[in-house]
Structure 1
Amino acid sequence: MHNSRMFDWDDLRHLIAVSRQGSTLAAAKTLGVNQSTVHRRLAELEKGIGLTLMKRNPSGYRLSELGEALIDHVLAVETAVVTLEQHIRTLKLDLKGVIRLTCPEPTVPRIMATGLLDRFHARYPDLRVEFVTSDRYLDLTKGEADVAFRSGEPVDESLVGRKICDSIWAIYASKSYLQQHGRPGGIADLADHALIGFDGIMQNHRVAKWLPFAVPNARIVSRNNSMLGTLSAVKAGVGIAPLPTTLGDAEDVLVQVLPPVEALTRSWYLLTPADLRRTPRIAAFVDQVLEDIPALRQALIG
């Protein structure tokens, strides 16, 4: 067993041209090459496969009996190549327009810092990625966005995607808060501290559901409907709150007072509707993301 080829695919073009034109000179003009090239390519083709495909007679060239037996298959290759070339041209024409990417607002600058979009735009200058930020999950199936970076296991079977990394959460407080109120020794000790809760569109977030379960007697002193609002409140010393480690660890004024909470760990996914996945613009973006997964992991989990 070996991987050597019997012939060069391009040799088939010369065989087809001679069979159609009846002479190597006419075939050469059709292909835009010189006559000696046609002779050489035919000879290499016949040598490679070990069969005589053309016969020369006084009126020109014609297919041999073996050539006649193969010509339909050769023409099928030509048809397949033409179809492929047309499809490639169509794909290039379709690689234009806007890709709407949704993700939590705090992740936008981190994604931008990876250079992912710069590399994508350099490769596909006629495509443009626009961020659609929201602390709620936009409905991709209703066209609110095309692609999402999203934490949590996908529950919508109409969406397809790939896992990028894990989303890790820990408990944070500001240095100023700890100076005044001390540091909790464990989850149970959070009941003795001022806590920041969640409201509005954040009410159904997993952290909003975890907090009253983990700390039944929680003393909520502030509620926020966004992660950036929660981060600001913790930095201001209002109270303690769970935060993604990518946010909390990046702030000099914050301290991770309790380690990552396993119950809050979820996975980051790249998701898109199944019917969009194979469209040229979305396929191109997904391919770029898969090439840049190491950089994205650094951006999403630090």
Structure 2
Amino acid sequence: MEDWNELRLVLAIQRGGGLTAASAALGIDHSTAFRRLKALEAQLGVRLFERLPGGVYQPTEAGARIAAGAERMEDEFLALGRDVVGGDHRLSGRLRVTSSETLAYSQLTAHLAAFRRAHPGIVVELSIDNRVLSLSRREADIALRPVRPKEGDLWGRKLAGVAWALYAAPAYVEAHGGVPKSGKLDGHALIGWDEAASGIRAAEWLAQSAAPSAVVYRTNSLVNQLIAARAGVGLALLPCYLGDDDPGVVRAAARPVAELEGELWIVTHADLRKTARVRAFFDLVGAGLANQADLFEGRRSGRAIV
């Protein structure tokens, strides 16, 4: 095996579980990935993947060994890249940032505009993705995350707590009343996530607090849930930094939901923490978001009709 791309292909198929995900990750078409895998297996004289129903590719022992070796090589390559970038003292170049849809929609963009004015030589690439992208694999240089990082090679700080509350259009609350202090949602039309949502604390809380029949509108986008609440569809459970800052909705319950208190973190890889453009982003954007802690934590005087 003389071509690094052969190793990358095996690793991508193992990570993605099939050719479709691997071809997307590598930027090649499905037929090219298939031909390259067949050629590699013929060259080595060994089968690297078992083809299972549904297009699933399960690595054989040989395939798993090659993928493990490719991952070690990738780790070394990425570490070398981080080492070089980590010593970059220029306030110029590309900076890849990842954020959730709600943060980008409501608060982040204004801080990015201020960052651009202060550092016009830095090109910010914002990836709006609710998944946790890998900073070790350089899928992003900086992440704004709703959870404390667990990986030991990451470095960052907590910017604020994050509170959640129930919101609706003023006309809806005036017509149907607010949520009583008991927290019961009886009689209210609810806006929620699609039924396939899993691992979302707010979605789980809503499912435990009301019957499925109470949910009259479902969407996997919190921004669209806000828009639906603004249009009078019903109550939406939203982070306070999204709901309290929107003039089209009010709190249907004065207090945030205590069980859903979360956090907002700004994180980078430890190897990049001294890079000039990373430090500049932490200092300007990170500090700007931290200064809004009252909004994130639901302590700003919100409009409520209860």
Which range, TM-score by smaller chain? Answer: 0.5 to 0.7
1:235 aligns with 2:226: no
* Separation in structure 2 between the aligned mates of residue 202 and residue 300 of structure 1, nearest angstrom: 24
Answering whether residue 259 of structure 2 is matched by residue 257 of structure 1, we say no
What secondary structure is seen at the aligned counterpart in 2 of 1:135? coil
| Residues 201-280 of structure 1 mapped to structure 2, 5 A cutoff | 203-215=198-210, 219-258=214-253, 259-280=255-276
- For residues 213 and 265 of structure 1, the distance between their equivalents in structure 2, rounded to whole angstroms, comes to 17
Amino acid at match of 1:204: G
CA distance in 2, matches of 1:200, 1:207: 13
Aligned AA for 2:278?
A: I
When structure 1 is superposed on structure 2, of 209-218 and 97-106 the one drifting more is 209-218
CA offset digits 1:143-169 (Å, max 9, x no partner): 322111222232333322101111111
- Give yes or no for the alignment of 1:157 onto 2:152: yes
Report SS of the residue matched to 1:129: strand
Partners of 2:163 and 2:246 lie apart in 1 by 16
Aligned counterparts of 1:191 and 1:260: Cα–Cα separation in 2: 18
**For the aligned residues, what is the CA RMSD?**
2.8
Which residue number in structure 2 is paired with residue 195 of structure 1? 190
Q: Which residue is equivalent to 1:112? A: 109
Stretches of structure 2 lacking an aligned partner (at least 5 in a row)? 1-86, 301-306
1:195–1:218 Cα contact (<8 Å) kept:
no
1:33-182 correspondence runs (5 A): 91-92=88-89, 94-108=90-104, 109-113=106-110, 116-182=111-177
Structure 2 distance, partners of 1:244, 1:196, is 14
* Pair 280,202 (structure 1): closer, same or farther in 2 beyond 3 Å: farther
Unaligned runs of 5+ in 1: 1-89
Distance 1:140 1:100 in 2: 10
Hey, what's the Cα distance between the residues in 1 that align with 2:98 and 2:196? 16
C-alpha distance in 2 between matches for 1:185 and 1:200: 26
Q: Distance in 1 between matches of 2:188 and 2:143?
A: 36
Shift of 1:228: 0.6
In structure 1, C-alpha distance between the alignment counterparts of 2:109 and 2:122, rounded to whole Å: 16
Aligned counterparts of 1:280 and 1:200: Cα–Cα separation in 2: 44
Q: Give the superposition deviation at 1:245.
A: 1.4
Paired AA for residue 137 in structure 1: V
Could you tell me the TM-score, scaled by structure 2's length? 0.59
CA–CA separation in structure 2 for the residues paired with 1:100 and 1:246: 23
Compute the displacement of 1:260 (Å).
0.6
For the residue of structure 2 that corresponds to 1:286, the secondary structure is helix
Question: Post-superposition shift, 1:243?
Answer: 0.9
1:52-110 per-residue CA deviation (whole Å, 9 max, x = no partner) reads xxxxxxxxxxxxxxxxxxxxxxxxxxxxxxxxxxxxxx744x44311111212332352
Q: Distance in 2 between matches of 1:291 and 1:189?
A: 38
Decide whether aligned partners of structure 1 residues 159 and 213 sit closer, same or farther in structure 2, where only a CA change above 3 A counts. Answer: farther
* Secondary structure of 1:288 counterpart: helix
Distance in 2 (alpha carbons) for counterparts of 1:187 and 1:197:
20
Give the corresponding residue for 2:282.
Answer: 286
- How many positions carry a matched residue from both structures? 210
> How does the TM-score come out when normalised to structure 1?
0.60
After TM superposition, give the deviation of residue 290 of structure 1 in Å.
Answer: 5.3
